Structure 1
């Protein structure tokens, strides 16, 4: 007699679907925070909310965009993707909530610091931020260690360096060292861009290969291609970014930093050439990521030329904001838009109709913030327009995706 053999392994459970995997709660949290923090930054710059914080308002903004928003998206991605990369279980349910809560509480404390600064609040922010990133890093490192995946050492190293950058920023705050605060923020920004390059290098060729070979229903359309990476370009990109980091942050040799910025830019231009296929323009979830890379490359080129142009253009600051808006803003919202569909069992070839608007608004925010100030005009006006575009972009993302991220998978699986 045939017997039914059933899997007796206990099915994972969580208090709510939003805690099933890291991408859910962190993508929602980061998107909402992107709106709230930018609204407050807009109000501060326009004089509606006088800044009384213990740090410079510009460094407060930089800290929250990098250590608040960007690290939340990275945490959500890694706490999801590492499960696929290593085959190891990642935190879910209450364990995931224990990682998210310190991040959320730290954001509340930092939002309050702009109006009611105190040493106690700074200490609380320090403890909560380091706890959040420490728990995130532990979960990733543990999975990599158990799987014995040496190829993930680059990601692990960047997580550790981001922890040290966070600690260095707080040291700068407590010692009232503006150079240390600035250096920690620049260091962290370039580290985040390094993470984006690493993740983008892994997923974009795969996404393009899979995306252009099927129609919007997911059926093969007869297009066959195989996107590959180049070890030489990978090393050149890494060396270029590492050299830029050293000579733009620590040693401060602009001419040398410019050479490394150009090396990194050229390596990624060639990457983009290798990955290109005309079919990407039919898929918003592909062209958004591709243009995010283009924006990062353009920003690196600005860093390569800034030592040779009039300092009045403030090209260095514009280039850093270009890296932030394209490498963090556009790349992360595009990645969140795709991952949120794929990991909830939905058709990635039929995203919400709002996605093109979400991406175009973010592209507009980057272009207005970086390009228009070069041609004159009221600088604060361009910043204001860019801020509004950023806010509307994330508002559309929340309208389109919070429901998806807070509901169970469509196929009934856990995740």
Structure 2
């Protein structure tokens, strides 16, 4: 797999912000938007929940904004960027890219403000965000004859469809159906994340560790993808036990892949082990999800919040903080090295995961642990934005010589 595309981003004065550079590839505005909203929305959820309007209020708002407002946004940002490498064509830039960012922003404001009109405008804007992104991805896949990636736009479209189903259940006030559709959206996102990560982790590792040779595991990846899609279909059909078996299989394949990637060889490279850790946590979370779906879990482990936070925070968020640093540095022509603030952001995210999972066990410390987890998360995202926004809004530095 080639490195992220070295697209000309306009302007030679890299010291000044440049709108052409900022809107040259999807990762630039959408990394800022997604990580910025991860910080803001969690602050609101934990410390100012009274600001959240109805009908998408309370837990329904928090779950939606974490999965579709943050995690899915970063995934779309990465795919809009990486697809330029896979196909040789940039799927979205300039005014078109600005347009989907505006749609994304309208959705965030509409859900927060609440009310019937604002919520329906937000729903329409968010559906348009996913549909346009999927259409642009498919256009360049076809144009570039990248047949092996034809499924990627369909998965993005599936993520948008799961979002629409979730919103419909929220507007209908059906909490049980809402949680089922959230799980489907999370599984759809997991399939996309596993697909992306199993391509980039071996590639990044072999580039950063001299002499390291890792198998790409194409066949196991194809099997994993197929079983993941089957799990989604079984969920839609309401077949809990077969769905649980499929989820367990996907999780086990994930853990097997991590073991095959020689994790001990990357322990001295934080930019790599953070990706390994996130991938392994996602596999473990899918196994817990299977346990929950089967109805066999008991006690605290029977709570959906356990597998949701293992996958959502331990898997998605840990992978994201690793990906948004590694891919931004690589594409922006910066040295692939972490400074202290980047490394601290990794540890803050890991601390947030541990504290949040600890808060799930009923005790007198649960509220304190929850708030500490939130503060660790907020500090992680703030550090990322402080370090990377100045780079993301400027052109690539000119190559020496």
TM-score for the superposition, normalised by structure 1: 0.86
Query: In 2, distance between residues paired with 1:163 and 1:247?
Result: 18
- Say if 2:235 is the partner of 1:234: no
Q: RMSD value over aligned CA atoms?
A: 2.4
Q: Does 1:270 align with 2:274?
A: no
1:140 aligns with 2:141: no
* Aligned equivalent of 1:4: none
Q: Indicate the SS of the match to 2:123.
A: helix
Alignment-derived partner of residue 344 in structure 1: 332
Instruction: Tell me what 1:301 maps to.
Output: 287
Q: For residue 67 of structure 1, what is the aligned residue in structure 2?
A: 68
2:281–2:311 Cα contact (<8 Å) kept:
yes
Q: Distance in 2 between matches of 1:300 and 1:181?
A: 19
Residue of structure 2 equivalent to 1:290:
276
Give 1 or 2 for the bigger CA radius of gyration: 1
In 1, distance between residues paired with 2:54 and 2:329?
A: 39
Tell me, which stretches of 5 or more residues in structure 1 are unaligned? Answer: 1-9, 214-223
- Judge conservation of contact 2:274–2:318 (CA < 8 Å) in 1: yes
Counterpart in 2 of 1:389? 376
Per-residue deviation at 1:152? Answer: 0.9
Q: Residue 267 of structure 1 aligns to a residue in which SS?
A: helix
Q: How many pairs are equivalent?
A: 385
Say whether 1:183 aligns with 2:180. yes
Counterpart residue number, 1:279: 265
1:399-410 alignment runs, 5 A limit:
399-410=386-397
| Cα offsets for 1:378-401 (capped at 9, x unmatched) | 444333222121111101111111
Aligned equivalents of 2:183, 2:290: Cα separation in 1: 16
> Which consecutive unaligned segments of at least 5 residues does structure 2 have?
1-7, 12-17
Q: Which residue is 2:89 aligned to?
A: 88
Q: What does residue 251 of structure 1 align with? A: 238
Provide Cα deviations, 1:392-412, integer angstroms capped at 9, x if missing partner.
110111111111111110136
2:112 is aligned to: 111
> 1:165/1:145 Cα in 2 relative to 1: closer, same or farther (>3 Å)?
same
Q: Alpha-carbon deviations, 1:211-245, whole Å to 9, x = none?
A: 111xxxxxxxxxx1321122442234224433443
Mapped to 1, the partners of 2:52 and 2:143 lie a distance apart of 46
Query: What TM-score does the superposition give when structure 2 sets the normalisation length?
Result: 0.89
* 1:358-393 CA-partner distances (Å, limit 9, x unpaired): 111111211222255347454443332221211111
Question: What is the CA distance between 1:37 and its match in structure 2?
Answer: 0.5
CA contact (8 A) 2:266 2:272 kept: yes
Structure 1 position 145, deviation (Å):
1.4
Determine which of 152, 165, 170 is the counterpart of 1:168: 165
Is the contact made by 1:358 and 1:394 (CA closer than 8 Å) also made in structure 2? Answer: yes
| Structure 1 residue 161: Cα displacement | 0.9
Question: Are 2:6 and 1:18 equivalent residues in the alignment?
Answer: no
Aligned to 1:7: none
